[in-house]
Structure 1
C-alpha cells in the first residue's frame, strides 16, 4: 500500500492548516526525499506524531521503506523513551523539529517483512503491550472503509483525531488510498476555527468519538450550515442510543449520513458499521461486519452460538486482524499469531442480523475515546499505597476508597497520571472495599456502591445549584483546577486546560460573565473577575448586516426626503449580495457542479419582485412588460412608467448570466475548483469587463444600469468573503478603490461605497447597543421588501400623518419589515400545506 501515488498525478492530496496544498505527485517526491534519511537500513521508526504534513510524510516514508512505524504522541517524552528501549528503535523522528536520529543497538533486531505499524492499545494507562499490524491489514481495512463510506477522490476529510490513534490513522489511510484529500489540522471540533477551516476547504466528512459529539452539541455548532458535509462517523466508545437516534434524525433532515462504527486497534480500527438507514430502528446496535469481515459468537467453552438474542463473546475474522501483540523487540520478528480476533466484548445478534454489545469480559472503561484498563488503575492505586478500587459509570471513572482524608488527593493523582480532566474522575468513600468469600474483590458490589455514591453526588449538586445558581469566576477556576495553585495571573491555558474540557469551562463561566470574550481562555483570572456580572450594553453584529441596514436606509432617505446621501447605496447592497453569495451559494456550486443554487436564489428574489410589480401595475392599470419580466433597465431609461426596479433587475441578470456560464462548464472541472481561485478570477475578470465593454457598447442612455457595469461590485463582494489573508485583502482593497474611483464621480456616493466596502473587507463584526441589535437585523433582513414597497408606505404615511418626509422614512422601514415578516409566514404556510398533501 502507498508504494506510489504516480497514478493520481496532480490530484490534491493534502491541505495544511496554513493553507499549503500538496498534490499526489508532490507527495510522492517528498516521500522519496525523506526515505533517503533511513540510511542505516530496515528497522523500527518511532514517529512522534502530530496532525501535520511532516508526520504524514514520515509515516508514508516508513511504510514505503519497509521500516515498521511506531506511532506515538509527540508530548510524552518519558513514555517514548521507554518505547524506544523496549523495541530497540533504530530511527527516532521528531516531526515538529523535522529531525531523524539514528540509534544503533548492540543486538541485531530482525523485523518481520510484513510488519508495517506498531500501535499502543492502552490509551492513557501506558501499558507496555503494543499491537503489530501488517501491510495487508492496513490495506484491507482501508479498502473496506472506502467501500462502505463510498469515499472517492472528491472527498475532503479533516484530521479530527490523532494519527497515532487507530481511528485517526484509518481516516488517513482510507482517504489517501481513495485518492481523496486530507485537511491536516490540530484544532478541536469545539473550536470555531476548526469549522472555519472545514467550510473554507469544503470538507465532506468528519470523524469523532462520543466526546467529540458532546463538544459539538455544547459549542452550538450547526451542522446544517456545513454545506459540503456528506457524512460523519462515530467510534471510540459507546454512544448513547438516544444520541444515535437524534444524530440520525438530524442527519436525515439536513441531508448527510451518520455512521455508527465499532472497532478495536487489534483489527486495524474497524470491524462493524451501522447502515444509516437502519440506525433509527436500531440505535443500540454496532451493525454489521465491514466488507471482507465476519462475526460469530462463542460461549464460555468456545462453542459457536447459532441462535439470535443469545449472549456470547464477539469473535471477528478478516484480513485486517492484527499479526499479534508485542511486548519486546524480539516479538517484532514473529509472524501471524492469530487468524481471528476474540474481542473481549459480550454481544448478541438480532433476528435481522445486527449485532449489539452488552458488556465486557474484562474490565475497561472508555473516556474521551481512550480505553482505560480498570485493572491497571487498580494496580496503580495499590502501587501508590491507596486502599481503593475503580469502576466505570457512564462517562466517568469512579474510585471507591476507605481513606476519606485522601479522596481529593486520589482524584487529582489519578487525573494527572491518566492525563484527563479531574472532572471525569469521582471518588467515593466507603467503610470497606467489598470482597467475595474467596477474598477477591466483588466488582458487582463495587459498581452498586458507585451508583449509590453517584446518586448522592447528583443530589448534592442539585441542592447546591438551587441554593446558588451562580458561582464566582474564581470558584469556577478552583473547582476545575483543584490540584493547581491559582492566583490572579492564572489563566485557563497556563493552568493546563485542554480541548477536552474548555467548552464545559466556557459554559460555566458564561453563567457568571454575560459577555465572555472570544479569547477568554488566554485572559488572566484578574481580567475575567472584572468582567463578572458585567451585562454589556453592546453586542456583536456582523458588519454585512449593519451595512445592509445602512444602505437600505440611505436609499429610502434619498427617495423620500430632500436629503441627498449619494447614489451608491444600491451599489453597496450589490457588493453585500456578492459577499453572501460567496458564503451560501458558491460552495454548493463548486461541490455539486449544479446551477440550481443560483436559480434558487434568483427565484427567491424574482418571485416577490414580479408579484409586487404585477400588483402595483394592476392597481394603476398600467402594465409594463419589460419591468414585469425584469429587463426594463435594458430598454430606454425613464420610459418605464415609474415601475422600474433597476437594482433588482441588474442583480437577477447577473445571476442568470452566471448560471448560463456555469452550465457550459463540465461538472468535473467545477468540482475541482478552489473557491479562493474562483473568487480571485472573478474579481479580475469583472474589472476587465467593466473597463473594456464600454469601448464596444455605450450604455449611457440606459444610465449605465446594466450588468457589465455593476458586476465588478458583486465579484468584489465574493472576494471580500473568500480571500481572507492579509496580502489578498490589501490587493483587493487597492483594486476596489481604484475601480470605484473610475466609476463614481459623485464624492458623497464614492465615500459611502468605499467606506462601506472597506468595512466589509476588513471588519467582520461591529458592536452595537444591545437594544438596537434586533431592529437593525430585522430591517437589514427585510431590505428587499423595503426596496420594493417604500414608496407605497410613504404614500400611506402622507395620508395618515401628512407629508413629512422623515416620518415616511420610518413608516417605510417598519412597514417593509412587517411585510417581509408576513411574506415569510405565508411561504412557511404554503410549504406546510404542500408537505401535508
Structure 2
C-alpha cells in the first residue's frame, strides 16, 4: 500500500542532455521524480512531498550512455496532466510501466544497437524521454538538437550518415511534408521512425512513407496513463489500415465500451492517480482504464474517433475550455458572456475558439486576454486562436453551453466570409498579422507564404528582421511556410540571443559596402572590381529561390513585376528629386535607359547599376512568360538554369562581337546576364552533387572572365559561402546591423553619391570614410522611412477604395 503522500525529487524541465542524465540517475537510484516548470511549482503539487528541486545544466548533442530497463513495480515518476475539470491530476508511473512501453516499441521498430536517433521531440515530454529510454536500452545513441527540431540539420546528418532514426510528432512532421525537397534523397538513409500520438490522415501517412521509403515507421496511440497502447506500422500497413492507430501488442488489451469509449488494460497502465485528496485507483476492479477517447475496431485495428469531452489538443498540449473561461472571466466585467470551444486546425490538431455574446464585452480585449492565458499554459497559439461574436450563446435546457454548436457556427462563418484585403495595423499579435503588415493592400490568408505573396530578396531581409524582432529565430526555409507553420516555430529557440545570418545576406551587405567604398575612395577592395557582378548574381539567385516557385505554380510573373516596381519607384523619385534640385532635366534617366548612352553626354545622376538590374528583371519576366520555359524549370530546374547560363554567355559574346560596347563601359544587360543566370544555377543546386557541379561551373566561368585576380577570389569565395554555408550563428545585434545594411542596399546605392557631394560642398574636401559611413547610415534611414511612408500610402488608398465601394453600393441600394 502506498503512503498517503509520496516522497519525490523535483527536476526542472530543460530540453538538454544533463536533464536526460539526471532523470536516468534518479531512475537508477530508485528515487521517484516529478517534472516542474519552476521551483515555485513544487508547492502546488498535490499529494507529493518534495525533498529538493534539481536544476539541470544546458547542453545538447549526443547521449550515449547505456541504461538497461528497470522492471521493478515501484514508483518511478509522477506526470501531471490537466483533468477535464481543470484540476491538476498526477499520474503515478512505475518502473514496470515505463519498461513495458519501452520493450514493446523496441520490438515493433526492431531497434538494434546500430540506432543513431535524431530526437525531434523535447526530452521534457513523455514521448521524448521515452525515446531516450528505448535507445539507451538497446545500446544505441540519441542526438538532442541544439535548436530543437531543425529539418535542414536532420537532412544534413542523414546525408552524412550521422543519424539513421527519427522521433517526431505529426505537427512537426507536417513541416517536412510541406517542403519535401528539404529532405530529398537524404530520406533514403532513414531506418527507423516513431511518430507521436496526434491524429494524422491516411494521406499524410502515405506521404511520410514516400519521403522515407526504407524506414520502419511506427505511430503509437496512448495517454499519459497508458503510453504506447497501440502501434501502427505505417511502413508496411495496408491502405485500409492507414487511417487507424494500429493494434495492441504484447500483454496490452484494448476494447471499446458500449458508449464508444476506448478502454485499456496491461502492464503499462498506471494504477494510481494523485490529486489534492490523495491517491485514487485509475483502473476498475478488472484492471481496465476507461479513457475519454472514442474509437471503434475494424478488422482488429483501432480507429480513433476523437475526444468524448471538450478537451482541446492544441499542438499536443491539452487545454481545458473551462480553465480558459475562468481566467477570462476573472479579468472581464461581470456582464461578459463568453464561451470557449475547440475548432479544427490544420497544423495543431485543435484550434481555440472564444465566442462572445454581442454587446457583452470588447472582442479585441477578449482576444488579447485569451492569448495571454494560453501563453501562461505554454501555448503560443497564434493564428489558431479565433474570436467570434454571436447573438446568444447556445445552451442546453440546463444552461450548459453547447460547444459543438459554437464550432459549427464558426465553420459556417468561415465558409461564408470572403477573403479581404488587409491594411496594416500598429499591433502585431501573431505571425499572420505580421505577414499582413509586411504585404499591405494584398489579400493575405492563413495558407499564404512569403513566396506566394511575391516576396523578393530585399523584402526577405526586411521580413526576417521584423519577424525576429517580434517572435525570435526563424526556422529554415521559412519562405515556403505558411502563417500556421511559422507560428509553430515561435519561441522554439528558447529566446536565444543568437541568430542565423544567411550568407546571402552577409555577402550582399559586404559587396554593397565594397561598391560604396570604391566610389568614396575609402578603400579599394579589388583592382579589377567584381562586386557589381556578384550583386547581379544575387539578383538571379533571388528570382530562382523566392519567385520562380510561385511563377511556376501560378503561371504568372506578377511577383517579378512587383519587384521591378519596388526598385523603379524609389529610383525614379531620387532621379526626379535630383533633377529638380539641380535644374538638370533629362528623359533617359527617367526611362531607366541611360546606361545605353555614352556617359560623357549625360549631365549626371548615373544610376546605371539599377537600370541594368531592372532590365535584367524585365528580361526574366519576359522569359518566364513562356509556358515551355516554366515547364522546363519545373521538371529539371538545375539543368534548365545551366542551359540559361550557357545561352547568356553565348548571346553576350555574339552581341559584343558586332556591337560597340566600349563607349559606355559595357553597361548593358547582356554583359551582366551571365552572373544573373549563374545566380539561378546556385539557387537551383539543392543537394551535394548539384552544388559541387554548380561550384565547378561557377569557378570555371569566374576565372575565365577575371583570370587569377583578386576579383575572382572575392567572387569565387562568396560563391563557395552561398553554396555550402547557408547561414552562420551570430549575436542578434550583429545580425541586425548586417541585415539592415543588406536590406537597405538599394537606398545606400541611391544616396551615396549625394553624401560625397554634400561633404565636398560643406568642407571643400572629401572625407572618404565619413562619406562611406554616412552613405550606409542615411541609406538605412531612407529605406526605413520609405517603407513606413509607402505603407501609410497603401493604407490610405486602400481605405479610400473601400469607402468608395461602400458608398457606391449604397447608391445602388
Give the TM-score normalised by the residue count of structure 1. 0.49
Instruction: Give the CA deviation at 1:434.
Output: 0.5
SS across alignment from 2:217: strand
Pair 398,295 (structure 1): closer, same or farther in 2 beyond 3 Å: same
Q: Distance in 2 between matches of 1:428 and 1:128?
A: 29
Q: 1:474 to 1:250 in 2, by over 3 A?
A: closer
Contact conserved, 2:179 with 2:480, CA < 8 A, in 1? no
Q: Which residue of 438, 453, 464 maps to 1:473?
A: 438
- 2:221 alignment counterpart: 262
Change (3 A) 1:279 1:188: farther
CA offset at residue 83 of structure 1?
A: 4.4
Q: Which residue of 2 aligns with 1:45?
A: 9
Match of 2:383 in 1: 423
Report the counterpart of residue 98 of structure 2 in structure 1: 138
- 387-396 or 146-155, which moves further after superposition? 387-396
Cα 1:328–1:158 shift into 2, 3 Å: farther
Map Cα deviations across residues 511-569 of structure 1 (whole Å, 9 max, x no partner): 9xxxxx9648999xxx9xx9xxx995242899xx99x99xx99xxxxxxxxxxxxxxxx
- Pair 1:463–1:277, CA change in 2 (3 A): farther
- What does 1:503-518 align with in structure 2 at a 5 Å threshold? 503=478, 507=482
Residue 347 of structure 1 corresponds to 295
- Alpha-carbon offset, residue 51 of structure 1: 3.0
Which whole-Å CA distance do the structure 1 matches of 2:227 and 2:45 have between them? 22
Say if 2:376 is the partner of 1:394: no
Q: Structure 1 residue runs of 4+, over 6 Å off?
A: 123-126, 334-338, 462-465, 476-480, 487-490, 498-502, 508-511, 520-523, 748-763
Which residue, out of 359, 368, 376, partners 2:323?
Answer: 376
1:762-781 mapped onto 2 (5 Å cutoff):
764-765=723-724
| Equivalent in the alignment of 1:16 | none
Contact 1:377/1:390 (CA < 8 Å) preserved in 2? yes
| TM-fit CA distance, 1:155 | 0.8
Listed one character per residue, the Cα deviations across residues 191-215 of structure 1 (whole Å, up to 9, x for unaligned) are: 5234434544632222222211222
> Following the alignment from structure 2 to structure 1, what is the Cα–Cα distance between the partners of residues 322 and 414?
21
Residue in 2 aligned with 1:806?
Answer: none
Spell out, residue by residue over 1:801-830, the C-alpha distance to the aligned partner (whole angstroms, 9 max, x if none): xxxxxxxxxxxxxxxxxxxxxxxxxxxxxx
**SS of equivalent residue, structure 2 residue 26:** helix
Secondary structure at the aligned position of 2:262 is classed as: strand
Pairs within 5 Å for 1:99-138? 114-122=74-82, 127-138=87-98
- The equivalent of 2:394 in structure 1 is 434
Aligned residues: 486
1:537 is matched with which residue: 532, 536, 539? 539
Shift of residue 96, structure 1, vs aligned partner: 2.9
Query: Which residue of 2 is the match for residue 807 of structure 1?
Result: none
SS in 2 for 1:289: coil
Report the aligned-residue RMSD.
Answer: 5.3
Q: 1:209 aligns with which of 169, 175, 181?
A: 169
For 2:20 and 2:253, locate their aligned partners in 1 and report how far apart those are by CA, in whole Å: 31
**Matching residue of 1:414:** 370
1:286-365 alignment runs, 5 A limit: 286-300=245-259, 312-328=260-276, 331=279, 339-350=287-298, 352-365=299-312
1:283 matched residue in structure 2 = 242
Question: Would the aligned equivalents of 1:51 and 1:185 in 2 still touch at CA under 8 Å?
Answer: no
Q: Which moved more, 1:425-434 or 1:274-283?
A: 274-283
Aligned residues of 1:134 and 1:322 also touching (Cα < 8 A): yes
Asked if 1 retains the 8 angstrom alpha-carbon contact of 2:358 and 2:392, the reply is no
CA shift at 1:135, angstroms? 0.3
Cα deviation for residue 151 of structure 1 reads 1.0
Q: Cα deviations across residues 249-294 of structure 1 (Å, max 9, x unaligned)?
A: 444xx33343332111111344333453225223321111133311
- 1 CA distance for matches of 2:116 and 2:463? 44
Q: Separation in 2 of the partners of 1:279 and 1:289?
A: 17
Residues of 2 paired with 1:390 and 1:398: CA distance?
A: 6
Mapped partners of 1:479, 1:520: distance in 2: 27
Q: Name the CA distance, whole Å, in 2 between partners of 1:65 and 1:51.
A: 22
Counterparts in 2 of 1:500 and 1:360: CA distance versus 1, 3 Å: farther
Please give the per-residue CA displacement for 1:702-737, whole angstroms capped at 9, x wherever unaligned.
xxxxxxxxxxxxxxx9xx9xxxxxxxxxxxxxxxxx
Deviations 1:300-346 (A, max 9, x none): 4xxxxxxxxxxx211111111013222249549x9988732212111
Change (3 A) 1:126 1:376: closer
Report the Cα distance in structure 2 between the residues aligned to 1:438 and 1:501, rounded to whole angstroms.
51
Shift of 1:129: 1.4
Shift in CA distance, 336/438, structure 1 to aligned 2, threshold 3 Å: closer
Task: Return the alpha-carbon distance in structure 2 between the equivalents of residues 519 and 752 of structure 1.
Answer: 24
Counterpart selection for 1:69 from 30, 33, 42: 33
Which position in structure 2 is the counterpart of 1:241? 202
CA contact (8 A) 2:33 2:77 kept: yes
Query: For the structure 1 residues 325 and 384, does the alpha-carbon distance in structure 2 shift closer, same or farther, using more than 3 Å as the test?
Result: farther
**Alpha-carbon deviation of 1:463?**
10
The 1:391/1:223 distance shift into structure 2, 3 A limit, reads farther
